[in-house]
Amino acid sequence: MLQNIAQFGSDVCMIDLPVISDPRGDLTFMEGNNHIPFDIKRVYYLYNVPVDSERGGHAHRELEQVVFALSGSFRMRVDDGRNKADVWLNNPRKGLYLRNMIWREIDTFSQGAVCMVLASHPYDEADYYREYEEFIRDV
């Protein structure tokens, strides 16, 4: 289920994944082109991040992502060049979908936070905007 972040329309939205619960615990699953709105080409995760660290600080020309807090919590600051919002991730069933051309910054990591990212493309440095001014110019 997709829940749009109002000012971004469908460019930034929360994805609520299914859960199967029983006395042994919870199981959540996801499938590319079903629960995730693209074919998953890369998965990576951040962990052992110091609580005062900042990550992200970039946008992508083509790449789409879904970001999850598998453990703990952190804040995602998202910006499409016109609108900005802070989104807290703290539930492993809820992922933040980011289309291309969305600037993102991640901070305020809790102790033991694990951030998992599903990406629509393999890593390509040429796809990154690393300078905010260049991103704003191209938006």
Look up the pTM and report it.
Answer: 0.93
Predicted pLDDT of residue 3 = 65
pLDDT block averages, 10 residues each, the chain of length 139: 69 94 96 95 97 96 98 97 96 97 98 98 98 97
Report CA 43 to chain centroid distance, whole Å: 12
Q: Is 60 an annotated catalytic residue?
A: no
Predicted pLDDT of residue 6 = 65
Predicted pLDDT of residue 40 = 98
